[in-house]
Every structure is written in C-alpha cells, then in structure tokens.
C-alpha cells in the first residue's frame, strides 16, 4: 500500500519559511560581478586602491551599510586557524567597532565535544535588523546576511553562549 504524507498549512508555511531563509543565506554567497574595464580619470584613485580599502563601520548607518565590514571581519577570521572559534569572530567584531552587548554566538562544540559543523554569530542592529554570520564545515566558508530581528529582539534561534570575556 502506498502511503502519502500531506503537510498541514502550518507545517507547509514553516517549510516554505525555512527554504526562503536558506535561499537568502545562500544568495549572500553569490560572487559579485568583477570590475568593468573602464578608464580611470587622472588624479582619481585606481579601482584596485579603492577596492582594497577595508570597509569601515558606519555607526549611524543601516545594517546593509555595515554588512561589508561585518563580512570582512568574518572572512579575516575564517582565513586563520581560529576559524572554528566563536570568540575569535566576536573579538574581531568588537575590534571593528561593533557593540558586544548586541552580539550572540553559538557554541564551538557539540554536546559530545566535537567541533560544531556550523557556528553562527550575530550583531543586533537598531530596532529591526540583525547582521548574521555562519561558518563551518557545513557551509564551506563564510555566509553573511542582514536578517530581521526575532520577535524578542534576538537574532539567533536557540541556545547561545554567554559573551562574558
């Protein structure tokens, strides 16, 4: 006998929301188009000099305006031997000017002591947005995005570790 499973409207909505979140996070991984070949006016900085300048925090800016510096910090940490350490991402974000009180980070290890397959970290930005990063073997690299805050003002779902250092 063939057995079919039908999703309830509530469950279907949850599946759709989860799929949309994954698509949004993966779209942040899409490569940016490369620089176009154009002449640089005399006296202006070359495109290479402009592109190599590290992004800076814009304290009064939007989450979208601060995503480049958030992503740059995450990429710098990912490129080190500390890539599996949540503290390294938090410390890097603090050094870049983000407020520790607005941060969350998940555990570096599973409950049985293995390295986490995925590590998430976030910075609450304003009253509505979050800068969210995810790294680890399950992502293969750094994924960053601006996401809406949860109803309780947090950015990450589930248990997070205290940032008490």
Q: How far apart are CA 66 and CA 40, in angstroms?
A: 27
pLDDT tens digits along 53-91: 889 999 999 999 999 999 999 999 999 999 999 999 999
* pTM greater than 0.85 (yes/no): no
The count of domains in the chain is 1
Token pair, residue 68, equals: 């480049």
Residue with tokens 């958030």: 70
Is 54 among the domain residues? no
pLDDT tens digits along 116-153: 999 999 999 999 999 999 999 999 999 999 999 999 99
What residues are paired with 115 via a beta bridge?
109
Is 162 among the domain residues? no
Is 90 among the domain residues? yes
Q: Alpha carbon of 164 to those of 90, 91, 100, 101, 119: distances in Å?
A: 11, 11, 9, 10, 18
Is 73 among the domain residues? yes
| 15 SS3 class | helix
Is 111 among the domain residues? yes
Is 105 among the domain residues? yes
Domain assignment of residue 146, given as a range = 62-157
Q: How far apart are CA 5 and CA 111, in angstroms?
A: 33
Is 87 among the domain residues? yes
What is the rounded radius of gyration, in angstroms, for the C-alpha atoms of the chain? 19
Is 47 among the domain residues? no
């Amino acid at each position: 006998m063939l057995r079919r499973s039908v999703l309830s409207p509530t469950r279907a909505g949850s599946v759709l929301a989860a799929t949309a979140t994954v698509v949004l996070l993966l779209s942040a991984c899409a490569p940016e188009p490369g620089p176009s070949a154009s002449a640089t006016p005399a006296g202006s900085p070359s495109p290479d000099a402009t592109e190599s300048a590290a992004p800076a925090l814009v304290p009064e800016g939007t989450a979208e305006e601060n995503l480049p510096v958030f992503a740059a910090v995450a990429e710098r940490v990912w490129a080190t031997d500390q890539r599996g350490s949540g503290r390294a991402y938090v410390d890097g974000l603090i050094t870049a000017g983000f407020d520790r009180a607005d941060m969350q980070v998940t555990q570096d290890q599973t409950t049985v002591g293995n390295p986490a397959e995925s590590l998430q970290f976030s910075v609450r930005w304003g009253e509505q947005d979050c800068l969210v990063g995810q790294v680890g073997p399950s992502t293969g690299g750094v994924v960053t995005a601006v996401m809406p805050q949860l109803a309780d003002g947090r950015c990450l779902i589930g248990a997070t570790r205290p940032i008490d250092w």
